[in-house]
Structure formats: C-alpha cells, structure tokens
C-alpha cells in the first residue's frame, strides 16, 4: 500500500471516499515531511499559516457533499512568483522580502475554487532569472536525487517539491524551459500550456510575451487535470485565448498511438551532447514506434538562434517589467536586486535604446516569426516533435558561477518552442549517472489534449517515473 505522500490526485480522492484518511491527516503528513527534509533541500520559503484550519473546512465539505470539486483537498506547492493572499510572495528576491499580496493571482484563484489547498510557496530563481534556482536570494534548492546537484529552474523549488514528495502537485511558470527543465532534472512531469492558455494576472512578470503558468506533477494524468482547472479566458489578461478549454483528462488512457506522426528533431541531438543522453532519446523514439506511432527525422532551425532571440526579447521585457520595482510603491529599494537581475535589466535597456532597437530587438522578433512559421509548416505533417529537454542531467551546485549564459545553454533545446508559444510536456525517459533525463513532447499551439495524450501513453508504457528515497539520498 502506498504511503500518503506517494498518492496521485485520483488516489487521494479515492482515499477520501473510502474514509482511509482525512485532509487534515494528509496535510499534517506533508508538514511533517517538510519539517524533516526542507532544511536540507531548501524547497519551501514560506508555509501557509492557515493550512490546518483550511483542511478542517475541507473535511467538513467532504463529509457533507463528497468530492464535489476537481481538486478538493489536494495539497499543492506554489511557485513564489504567484500572488497568494495570506502567504508571502517574494519571487525569491530581497526586494520583496516580507511582501504580503493584497489579491490572488488568476491561476491560484482557480486552484482554490477547485478545492486545492496550498501548503506554501516554493523557492525559485530570483524573479525567475535563471535555470538553476541558484540566483535565489534565499539560497539554492537542492536536487532530491542528489543534494549536491541543482534542481534546475526557475521553477526548481516546485519541481523538487514533487520529486521529494512534499506535496501532491505543484504550480510553476515557464518563460523558456522553466517548467520542463527542472521537471527533467528532478525526474517528474512538467507541462507547459500554450502561451495565453492560462492567465498571467497576479504572476510576477518576467518576459510577458512568453510567460506561461503550468503544473508540475507526479503523472501526466495529474498535470492534465490541473491544466484544465487553470486554463481559460482571463478578464484581467488580454493575452489569454477565448478558445474553449477541452476536458484534457478525457483524452488520456490511449492503449496505443496508431495514426500519430512524430518528428525526431535532428538539430536537438546536439554535437556535444553526451552519447548516453542521445541514446535515451533514440530509445524513446523506438518506444513510440512500438506503440504504433510513425517516427521520422525532421529538421528545425538551429537551436543557437533561439538562444539569441530569447536573450534579446527576454532581457528587453525584463527591463520594462521590473521598472515598477522602484522602492516607492512597494518592496525595498532597487539596491536589493540581485546581480543576475541587474545584468538582465542593463542588457534589456541597452537593446531597447535609441539606435539599437532595430539592430537587436526588431531583428530578434523577425527571427522569432520565422520560427513560428517553421513550426506551423511542420505541424501540417506531424502531430508532435520530440527531443531531449536539456543536454544532460542535473549539474553540480555552483555550476552557474561566472556563467551569465548558463540558463540559455541549459534551455537551448526548449527555447524554440517557448518563443513560438507552443505547448509541450516533459516526462522522464531514463537515467544517466543515477540522475533523471527528460523527454520533451511538443505540439502546436492549443493542442494541449494531443500533447498530454501522447505523453500519457508513453509514461504509462515506461517505468522511468520514479522518486528518490530521501533517507538515502540525504
């Protein structure tokens, strides 16, 4: 029999129905695990002070009405860039240390309305600037598989929370790999919805044209349910789509992938990529073939161009978005910005300045359009494209030192899909040196149902979704 921290969303609900445990018991179980392991992993920055009272209310609701909401009584970890009333929000930056939001973000509102219960806020790269969680002003998060390794980022705390099984599910955000890359390094499932599928209101902005809230979970099945809950038109975010949200969980459970055509991106098998990582991706392609899919090689623009486009666009948008943190309206003075944040503001201000706008920002947007057009053509033939999420497994803590382009190089394989606004899943596809490797399955815009269905079929026919024994790794 599984322990409480090992349960998926459906298994938690089944336990409630069968009166095997209460929400209060489940929450206390997680709080005990957090108390035991968080000092060594540095995952949670703040805990919900009202979580037990909220769990008691959920138990009363279950007793009266049963499981009448999709996420009722599901303990979740929330990335610290989402505004949460009653729980501090800092974006892992000293400039917002002690900040208590006055309103709730759109996606956390939807999670609460669906019955979720928030355990607390998770560590991240400061203002989401990074792919390691090392730029956090509150210290790095440690990878549960090996505490000497990085968990990835910027949603490293949320990914580590699921890997360490300190919550049933988690919320992250992705700008260019910030869900998928930490999910890959921590060996869990991460899902990036299409840009504009989930509202950004109340999510502290990094790059407004690519920021995408999304789930990090134990299974694709859990990720599909959370994505359904948080998706939809947001009256406070004009970039969200009015398209009807499909019932994503209903598309899962396929026994095969007959009729599905998948492209194996040759450019994603980088020349300097480790051979054992390449082999895992090729084995994943073979697995798709065994499940009935047609897998053919496909060519995309060299990923190095995505690095250039993202660097210019993201820094430019950062310089605009962080202008509001002036120490006058809220927060501390700009002296509290970290070094990485200052670098990004300076570079973004430069690329938007008179005389350089056309040479850098405008050109980057033109190349971005070419990437979008290329994906549009490919998805006329293929249902999905696949590749590794990151060139290798988790790196040692300290790897980012004197590496200002660390994040871009570790996210080189996922940046194209992010700047094009596509939807993509990261699922475990094997291990290298005892550390997990992630496979990305990317589909066209607003093809969440297809991306999740393909990933679910792969996940249920492989055995790579595993979790570390913390008593041994720590």
Contact 190, 214 (CB under 8 A): yes
- Which two structure tokens, joined as six digits, stand for 336? 């509290």
Integer Cα distance of 392 and 265 in angstroms: 17
Confidence band for 340, pLDDT divided at 50, 70 and 90: confident
429: containing domain: 4-473
CB under 8 Å to 44, separation ≥6 — which residues? 34, 38, 77, 119, 120, 121, 122, 123, 157, 161, 166
Least Cα distance to 144 among 136, 152, 392 occurs for: 152
Which of 95-99, 143-147, 324-328 bottoms out in mean pLDDT, i.e. has the lowest?
A: 324-328
pLDDT at 354: 78
**Residue 212 annotated to the active site:** no
Q: Which of 88, 93, 126, 178 is catalytic?
A: 178
Q: Which residues share a beta bridge with 173?
A: 213
- Which two structure tokens, joined as six digits, stand for 395? 């790196």
CB under 8 Å to 159, separation ≥6 — which residues? 151, 152, 170, 172, 179, 182, 183, 185, 186, 188, 190, 216
pLDDT at 402: 82
pLDDT at 181: 98
Predicted confidence (pLDDT) at residue 326 exceeds the cutoff of 90: no
What does the pLDDT look like over 141-187, one tens digit per residue? 999 999 999 999 999 999 999 999 999 999 999 999 999 999 999 99
Q: Which of 93, 105, 131, 154 is catalytic?
A: 154
The CA distances from residue 349 to 175, 193, 312, 325, 345, in Å, are 19, 29, 10, 15, 6
Residue 381, CB-side half-sphere exposure with 13 Å CA sphere: 13
Residue for token pair 């359009």: 369
CB under 8 Å to 362, separation ≥6 — which residues? none
Which CATH number goes with the domain that contains 394? 3.90.1300.10
Integer Cα distance of 202 and 242 in angstroms: 19
- Which two structure tokens, joined as six digits, stand for 201? 């209101």
Residue for token pair 């209460």: 22
Contact 124, 49 (CB under 8 A): no
Residue 192, CB-side half-sphere exposure with 13 Å CA sphere: 37
User: Which helix (H) or strand (E) covers residue 442, if one does?
Assistant: strand 435-443
**Burial state string for 357-384 with b = 16 or more CB within 10 A and e = fewer than 16:** eeebbeebeebbeebeeebeebbeebbb
**Residue 154 annotated to the active site:** yes
User: Which helix (H) or strand (E) covers residue 216, if one does?
Assistant: strand 212-217
Predicted confidence (pLDDT) at residue 10 exceeds the cutoff of 90: yes
Q: How many structural domains comprise the chain?
A: 1
What does the pLDDT look like over 84-93, one tens digit per residue? 999 999 999 9
Predicted TM-score (pTM) of this structure: 0.96
SS3 content of the chain, % helix, strand, coil (to 5): 40, 15, 40
Predicted confidence (pLDDT) at residue 415 exceeds the cutoff of 90: yes
Confidence band for 94, pLDDT divided at 50, 70 and 90: very high
pLDDT at 356: 79
CB atoms within 10 A of CB 240: 20
Confidence band for 246, pLDDT divided at 50, 70 and 90: very high
Q: For residue 360, what is the DSSP state?
A: I
Contact 148, 474 (CB under 8 A): no
What does the pLDDT look like over 186-235, one tens digit per residue? 999 999 999 999 999 999 999 999 999 999 999 999 999 999 999 999 99
**Residue 208 annotated to the active site:** no
Question: Helix or strand or coil: residue 46?
Answer: strand
Q: For residue 6, what is the DSSP state?
A: G
Q: Give CA angle at 323 (330, 307), nearest 5°.
A: 130
Least Cα distance to 96 among 382, 324, 392, 396 occurs for: 324
């Amino acid at each position: 029999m599984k322990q409480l921290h090992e349960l998926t969303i459906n298994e938690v609900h089944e336990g409630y129905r069968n009166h095997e445990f209460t929400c209060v018991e489940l929450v206390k179980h997680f709080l005990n695990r957090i108390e035991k392991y968080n000092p060594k992993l540095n995952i949670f920055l703040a805990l919900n002070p009202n979580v037990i009272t909220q769990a008691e209310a959920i138990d009363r609701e279950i007793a009266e009405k049963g499981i009448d909401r999709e996420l009722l009584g599901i303990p979740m970890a929330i990335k610290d860039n989402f505004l949460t009333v009653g729980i501090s929000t800092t974006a892992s930056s000293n400039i917002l240390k002690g900040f208590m939001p006055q309103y709730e973000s759109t996606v956390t509102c939807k999670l609460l309305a669906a019955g979720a219960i928030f355990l607390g806020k998770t560590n991240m790269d400061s203002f989401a600037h990074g792919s390691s969680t090392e730029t956090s002003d509150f210290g790095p998060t440690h990878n549960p598989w090996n505490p000497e390794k990085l968990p990835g980022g910027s949603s490293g705390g949320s990914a580590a929370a699921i890997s360490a099984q300190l919550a049933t599910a988690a919320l992250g955000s992705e700008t260019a790999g910030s869900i998928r890359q930490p999910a890959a390094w921590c060996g869990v499932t991460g899902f990036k919805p299409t840009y504009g599928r989930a509202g950004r209101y109340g999510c502290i902005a990094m790059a407004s044209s690519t920021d995408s809230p999304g789930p990090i979970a134990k299974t694709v099945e859990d990720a599909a349910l959370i994505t359904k809950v948080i998706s939809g038109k947001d009256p406070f975010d004009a970039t969200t789509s009015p398209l009807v949200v499909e019932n994503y969980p209903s598309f899962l459970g396929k026994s095969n992938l007959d009729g599905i055509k998948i492209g194996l991106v040759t450019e994603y098998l980088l020349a300097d990529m480790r051979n054992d990582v390449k082999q895992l991706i090729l084995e994943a392609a073979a697995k798709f073939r065994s499940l009935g899919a047609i897998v053919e090689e496909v060519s995309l623009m060299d990923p190095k161009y995505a690095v250039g486009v993202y660097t210019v666009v993201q820094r430019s948008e950062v310089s605009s978005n962080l202008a509001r943190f002036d120490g006058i309206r809220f927060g501390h003075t700009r002296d509290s910005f970290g070094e990485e944040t200052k670098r990004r503001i300076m570079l973004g201000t430069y690329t938007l300045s008179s005389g350089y706008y056309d040479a850098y920002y405008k050109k980057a947007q033109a190349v971005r359009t070419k990437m979008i057009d290329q994906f549009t053509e490919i998805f006329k033939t293929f249902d999905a494209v696949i590749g590794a999420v990151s060139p290798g497994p988790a790196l040692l803590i300290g790897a980012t030192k004197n590496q200002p382009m660390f994040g871009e190089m570790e996210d080189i394989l996922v940046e194209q899909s992010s700047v094009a606004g596509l939807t993509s899943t990261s699922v475990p596809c094997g291990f290298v040196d005892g550390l997990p490797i992630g496979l990305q399955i990317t589909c066209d815009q607003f093809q969440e149902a297809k991306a999740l269905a393909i990933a679910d079929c792969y996940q249920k026919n492989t055995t790579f979704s595993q979790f570390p024994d913390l008593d041994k790794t720590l």
